[in-house]
A and B are shown apart, each in its own frame.
Chain A
């Protein structure tokens, strides 16, 4: 089955530790995205990548880092510099070029930092 996988589903970390969230897709999509979702707020874009070895900051990139070494993978690292890292993190992908850019989402990772 084609789709997007995120692991783990739940992640717990102590304050001050870096943590990496996994996102893998087998849809052959060029573009991948990371969002953060908090209660009472709309989805906020952290980083996006339109092609391998290239990525751009979204609206709330501070305290996060990404890499895009393979088309299928777009891991997100939440660093100790992120002041409020506890949230639900969603990864998405889409086709680029001409077209709709319809985004497809993974199941999400809930990160809790204490």
Chain B
């Protein structure tokens, strides 16, 4: 059974730091993995999606990598800003067929970027 873990649960950094958020999954047989951002009391915003055949995806200051063999994905945020403060969630999808299309969710990392 796939399990997704995000460590640390919370992170506080000064503005301008480059930082890495971690996401681990127990079953390396994944179809893709998606990173989301959630602001307090709001819905989720999709940040990046990495297919199993890809090693990384980039969007602006964000870079997500995927290492299936080690069961890890990382979200790298360059030059962090106070506006990056939010909870970051990762979710893994086992396959593109039937019930296995469901996302398996981590609990998230709550990030605070201090000015």
Contacts and interface: CB of A to CB of B under 8 A. Distances in A.
B44 interface: yes
A2 interface: no
A25 to B, nearest CB: 12
A48 B93 CA distance: 15
Given A41-B107, A42-B106, A110-B41, A101 B46 contact: no
Nearest to A3: B43
Chain A facing B: main interface SS: loop
Given A41-B107, A42-B107, A103 B34 contact: yes
A90 B43 CA distance: 7
Interface string A18-58: 00000000000000000000001111010010000000101
Contacts of B101: 101
Contact of B45 (A48, A99, A105): A105
Chain B contact patch, size range: 20 to 34
Given A100-B51, A101-B93, A108 B103 contact: no
B102 interface: yes
Contacts, number: 50
Contacts of B114: none
B42 interface: yes
Given A42-B107, A43-B105, A45-B102, A103 B46 contact: yes
Interface string B29-56: 0001010100001111110010100000
Contact of B105 (A4, A42, A106): A42
Interface of B: 4, 32, 34, 36, 41-46, 49, 51, 89, 91, 93, 96, 99, 101-103, 105-108
